[in-house]
């Protein structure tokens, strides 16, 4: 029996940052691995041409899975996403074609939470602003900072990251408010409606899941409810924020500042016109970019491929009931 063909969509740079040699070696133990050697992510037509003989596609977060991919690859058994987000995969089309779709779990929780803590300190104490002024040859004026202890932390979305962040906020001496209409909030954290959270929090951290319901969750009305000395942090998805409203609030001094690790630029990067504002701290979507976080997701996909090649439904499957193209 011929070895199954596994196509990995990551560019060489993506493999260095988001997959790694250990995971690649694990895939090679399972079948014949074909690699994408181009510098840019593949579009649908390019993916079909590159993966013609593949039974499994292991896809980076920038490579979409539209209906044309599933229609054009009749031998395909599974589309494995090395990320939690599967919004660019047409799961109904995959199901119609009998192709299994899987996603990786959130192996980046600790990594993202640590970034949030760093961004809160940066916003509160002006760390990166002062450092930039020194590097430019100037001497920044020492300004009064804010203390996390005694401040109120508002967490929008009580999923894996929110549950990890909340007790750390308490440990730092913060009062922690949480809003999530679909989750039970653990004591001692206070569940409150979104409006109340926005009105009371000194630091608002957006961790909601991206969906049609949460698109532009943070709009002009939401920012108007926030305190003028409050900080806003988004490390979830760019679509949760109306960027025009955020820009207006920052330019008009209706917020003290914001930190963005995500935005509406390609690959969920912060939008450049916002990133240049003096009261914004922007990072290039690095929340989950640490070796333990990346390794966890990459190695999880290796185990998913191992299971599905045995004909077993792996963890992370999202349409198991429609899987007909078994290997």
Q: Which of 72, 135, 67, 125 is nearest to 101 (CA)?
A: 67
Contact, 84 vs 288, CB < 8 A?
no
Q: What is the mean pLDDT of residues 190-208?
A: 97
**Confidence (pTM):** 0.86
The answer on pLDDT for 1 being more than 70 is no
The answer on pLDDT for 220 being more than 90 is yes
Amino acid 20: pLDDT: 87
What backbone phi and psi angles, to 5 degrees, belong to 258? Answer: -150, 155
**Helices then strands (H, E): number in the chain?**
13, 12
The strand pair at 175-179 and 32-35 is best described as: unpaired
What is the 8-class DSSP label of residue 321?
G
For the chain, domains (ranges, CATH) are 5-107+290-322 (3.40.50.720), 109-282 (3.40.50.720)
Q: CA torsion sign, 71 to 73 to 75 to 77? A: negative
* Residues 125-167 pLDDT 10s: 999 999 999 999 999 999 899 999 999 999 999 999 999 999 9
* Residues 257-288 pLDDT 10s: 999 999 999 888 999 999 999 999 999 999 99
Band of residue 211 on the pLDDT scale cut at 50, 70, 90: confident
- DSSP per-residue letters across 112-150: HHHHHHHHHHHHHHTHHHHHHHHHTT--PPP-----STT
Output Rg (C-alpha) for the chain, integer angstroms: 22
Contact, 226 vs 106, CB < 8 A?
no
């Amino acid at each position: 029996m011929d070895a199954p063909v596994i196509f990995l969509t990551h560019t060489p740079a993506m493999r260095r940052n988001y997959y790694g040699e250990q995971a690649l070696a694990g895939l090679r133990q399972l079948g014949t691995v074909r690699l994408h050697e181009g510098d840019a992510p593949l579009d649908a037509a390019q993916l079909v041409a590159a993966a013609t003989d593949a039974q499994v596609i292991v896809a980076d977060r920038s490579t979409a899975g539209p209906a044309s991919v599933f229609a054009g690859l009749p031998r395909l058994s599974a589309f494995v996403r090395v990320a939690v987000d599967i919004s660019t995969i047409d799961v109904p089309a995959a199901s119609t074609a009998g192709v299994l779709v899987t996603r990786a779990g959130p192996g980046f929780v600790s990594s993202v939470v640590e970034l949030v803590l760093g961004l809160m300190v940066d916003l509160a104490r002006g760390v990166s602003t002062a450092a930039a002024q020194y590097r430019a040859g100037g001497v920044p004026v020492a300004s009064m900072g804010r203390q996390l202890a005694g401040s109120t932390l508002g967490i929008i979305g009580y999923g894996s990251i929110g549950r990890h962040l909340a007790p750390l906020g308490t440990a730092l001496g913060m009062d922690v408010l949480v809003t999530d209409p679909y989750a039970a909030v653990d004591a001692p954290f206070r569940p409150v409606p979104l409006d109340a959270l926005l009105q009371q929090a000194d630091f608002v951290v957006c961790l909601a899941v991206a969906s049609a319901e949460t698109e532009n969750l943070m709009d002009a009305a939401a920012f108007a409810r926030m305190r003028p000395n409050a900080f806003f942090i988004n490390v979830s998805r760019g679509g949760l924020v109306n960027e025009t409203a955020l820009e207006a609030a920052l330019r008009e001094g209706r917020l003290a500042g914001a930190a963005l690790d995500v935005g509406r630029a390609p690959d969920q990067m912060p939008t450049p016109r916002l990133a240049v504002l003096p009261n914004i701290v922007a990072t290039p979507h690095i929340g989950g970019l640490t070796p333990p976080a990346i390794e966890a997701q990459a190695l999880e996909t290796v185990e998913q491929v191992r299971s599905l090649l045995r004909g077993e439904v792996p963890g992370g499957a999202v349409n198991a009931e429609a899987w007909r193209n078994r290997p």
